[in-house]
Amino acid sequence: METQRLIVDNNVDSKKSYSQAVDLLNRGELVAFPTETVYGLGAVATNETAVKKIYAAKGRPSDNPLIVHIGTFDELENYVDNISDKARKCMGAFWPGPLTMIFKVKPNVLAASVTAGLDTVGIRMPNHPVALKLLQKLGKPVAAPSANRSGKPSPTEGIHVEQDLAGKIPMILDGGATGIGVESTVIDLTLETPVILRPGAITKEMFESVIGQVKQPTHIEQKAGAPRAPGMKYTHYAPNAPVYLIEQDEQQVSEAIKELQQQGHKVALLAPQSFEHLNSDWFFTFGDSKQDMAANLFHALRACDLTAADIVLATVTSTDGVGAAIMNRLEKSAGSKWYTKDFQEQ
Ligand code: TXA
Ligand code: MG
């Protein structure tokens, strides 16, 4: 199958691109599109045959449910039961935006594969002009996981989607770099005290200012308990070379690079801009603020695969604010491995 990548932005007349995308979706085909977090790989969420194609194209395990994207508030009650006050408050505060809420699903409306056998469904209204326009023109719910091959970092640019899925899907709507760069916060509002299943740009503090107490289990607590967001248990975000975490400390990083190179390793360093002068074999910037780091993280991880690096060193950040989302992704990409002095590959 040939994959078309169509640029959709204010400088080109995109009418035809949207109508082609809508036609493809209506015919049960897949279309990748930008959201404000990462690119999604969409199929009409009521079409079981179409939704199954998502799992096939991504190589995604069939027990990992998909997020349903909607273009208007009113649609929500077509798909879910029991919209609580807290959910309504969150919708008011954070939709459209980088927030997925888990609800009890209405039976027999969405394709069975969307929910992967659960009695709940994750729904989000994205805040990206291309995503919203596509959803509103289509007028149907769109199931869309991140548009990467399963296990790889999520795509934040149209070209990332092409790298992973060319030949497997008919169309990519390319709206440029996504902006936020980490996937939406997933919160389970079916519980008495809501639980953040996946941290994102809507932070614990932001929820608490709107609905009171919410729980955000640490990485370790999440690993120990039964995974409530099934996707969280799989290997994720990993470049080909192993990733090791290291403190954001110039001296430590500099010594680590030296030691690794003495051992014959080729090192890619992912770190703030001010670390560029260190002697790594490749350097990819995280930028300087946490916002930059979220936006650059997946690009930097993906860039490692275009080098001959056999070790990736990535500097960490604190877990305040969006740092929780960044560290959640970074720990997964590293399989929680830290660089230690007298390095031996794990
Ligand atoms: O920002 C995003 O959320 C992007 C864009 C495209 O919208 N989508 C995305 O989808 O990241 P995906 O499939 O890569 O991640 C969805 C996560 C997975 O960890 C999945 O297990 C969890 O949400 N999830 C989906 N439905 C769920 C449910 N009913 N209960 C618990 N977790 C659910
Ligand atoms: Mg994903």
66 alpha carbon to ligand 1 midpoint, in Å? 5
Share above pLDDT 70 across residues of the chain, in percent, rounded to a whole number: 95
Query: Which ligand lies nearest to the CA atom of residue 232 in the structure?
Result: 1
CA of 141 to the centre of ligand 1 (A): 15
Q: What is the phi-psi region of residue 321: left when phi exceeds 0, alpha when psi lies from -120 to 50, beta otherwise?
A: left
Q: Residue 235 pLDDT more than 90? A: no
Confirm or reject: Cβ of 66 under 6 Å from ligand 1.
Answer: yes
Does the predicted model carry a pTM greater than 0.85? yes
User: Does the pLDDT value for residue 8 go beyond 80?
Assistant: yes
User: Mind listing the pLDDT tens digit for each residue in 169-224?
Assistant: 999 999 999 999 999 999 999 998 999 999 999 999 999 999 999 999 876 666 66
Check pocket membership of 97 for ligand 1, CB cut-off 6 A.
Answer: no
Q: Which atom of ligand 1 is nearest to the CA of 229?
A: 32
Best residue for ligand 1 mutational test, from 38, 55, 67 (most atoms within 8 Å of Cβ)? 67
How many angstroms separate the CA atoms of 41 and 57, rounded? 9
pLDDT of residue 40: 98
Please give the distance, rounded to the nearest whole angstrom, from the Cα atom of residue 199 to the centre of ligand 1: 11
Q: Is 67 in the pocket of ligand 1 (CB under 6 A)?
A: yes
